[in-house]
Amino acid sequence: MLHDWLLHGSWLGNPAVAWVSAGIGALLGYVLAHTLAWFLKSRITRLAERTQRPGLFVAAKVLAATRGWLLALIAIVVALDFLRFRNPTSHWLEQLIFLLVGIQLAFWAGAFVVGWINRSATRADHKPANPVMLGVLTWLIQFAIWITLLLALLANGGVKITAFVASLGVGGVAVALALQNVLTDLFSSIAIGLDKPFEVGEFIAFGDESGTVSKVGIKSTRIQSLSGEELAVSNSVLLKNLIHNYSRRQERRVVFNFRLPFDTPRAKIPEAIARVRGYIEREKLTRFERGYLSGFGDYALEFEFVYYVLEPGYDTFVAIQQRINLAILGAFDELGIALAVPARQLQPAAATGSPGVHVSRAVE
């Protein structure tokens, strides 16, 4: 029965043998195209890794953009096009072939342009020189490629492109007004890419928030906060704030104070200042700026010391400050000096005054 159907049967106006031949042709075409693409990609990838030539890496990226499902659909539709169908079906098959081939060409074109830009913008350490602008350019290029494909499909389908583009211009104004916030964030992303106030991996602070930049996108910037959660901040909102980029700090300026009681022996004050300065200067990663008796407070003598830590890391700073603080405590114990603390003193009321006591701030 199957033999008779193959010899004499038909379906949709085509003999059964033609359908079988089309199926075998589609299968062979898909296997051949897919195998050829895989073979070329593997060979070019190995050659690129051996020679380190940028062009070969780009070619490997282009071949990697080959979509197997597209090759299968193209093989099936091309095989069907060899069959005889009535005019509407044949016309739509041709349009479908154009669409599928155009989509695959768009994937290849996008991979080629983006791959070439990535290789051109990559520094010696294999990191992009400007990842923000690279992301914006990648998005714009892919958008342009797919818009071009859409216009080509419309032109092939008989649509007048000139009138269509003019209508897009009028509609584009309305879309731009509707997407005003999105476009603002897009241009803010471009501004971040050009001006580079911060980059991925840097620690920044703005407003009441701070954290490490993990990604700068088209619409928002992702920041990993110190408490662990991820912050998604609109690019336009972020640029309206004063941004503190702590990762680009070359050194850290430190100001610290302490107080000594008013009854501290005057002869020991210069010795205390010299001791504290010595503890700062003996640290290898510090540069002393100044240290002096800065004034007379409400209850104590006030001292101010300023120095620089030559490495910006916070852990380095706190370790140095702790060693200085411990040395100061030891020196004051040796000199017989106590740090001043605020206190209150009770004084008895005068004999002719009202009964009770008067409370006054103590002078240490």
Q: What is the pLDDT of residues 10-34, one digit of tens each?
A: 655 666 667 777 788 888 888 898 8
List beta partners, residue 211.
Answer: 204, 225
Tell me the pTM.
Answer: 0.49
Contacts of 186 (CB under 8 A, 6+ apart): 136, 218, 219, 235
| CATH, domain 252-335, list 3.30.70.100, 3.30.110.30, 3.40.640.10, 3.30.1370.60 | 3.30.70.100
**Residue 39 pLDDT greater than 80, yes or no:** yes
**Residue 199 pLDDT greater than 80, yes or no:** yes
- Return the biggest CA–CA distance within the chain: 135
Kindly tell me the sign of the dihedral angle through the C-alpha atoms of 350, 351, 354, 357: positive
Between 115 and 222, name the one with better pLDDT.
222
pLDDT 10s digits, 52-89: 787 788 888 888 888 888 888 888 888 877 776 666 66
At 359 the pLDDT is: 45
Q: How confident is the model at residue 363 (pLDDT cuts 50, 70, 90)?
A: very low
Quickly count: other Cβ atoms within 10 Å of residue 80's Cβ: 20
At 101 the pLDDT is: 87
Residue 23 in tokens: 């199926």
- Cβ–Cβ < 8 Å for 40, 61: no
At 345 the pLDDT is: 60
**Residue 328 pLDDT greater than 80, yes or no:** yes
At 172 the pLDDT is: 59
**Residue 296 pLDDT greater than 70, yes or no:** yes
Where does CATH 3.30.70.100 sit in the chain? 252-335
Average pLDDT of every residue of the chain: 80
pLDDT 10s digits, 154-176: 777 777 766 666 666 655 565 55
The label of the residue with tokens 């079988």 reads 20
CA–CA gap between residue 160 and residue 167 (Å, rounded) = 11
pLDDT 10s digits, 77-134: 888 777 766 666 666 777 888 888 888 888 888 888 888 777 665 555 555 555 666 7
Query: CA–CA distance from 187 to each of 25, 142, 184, 193, 222 (Å)?
Result: 50, 17, 5, 10, 17
**Residue 327 pLDDT greater than 90, yes or no:** yes
| % of the chain at pLDDT higher than 90 | 21
The label of the residue with tokens 């695959």 reads 104
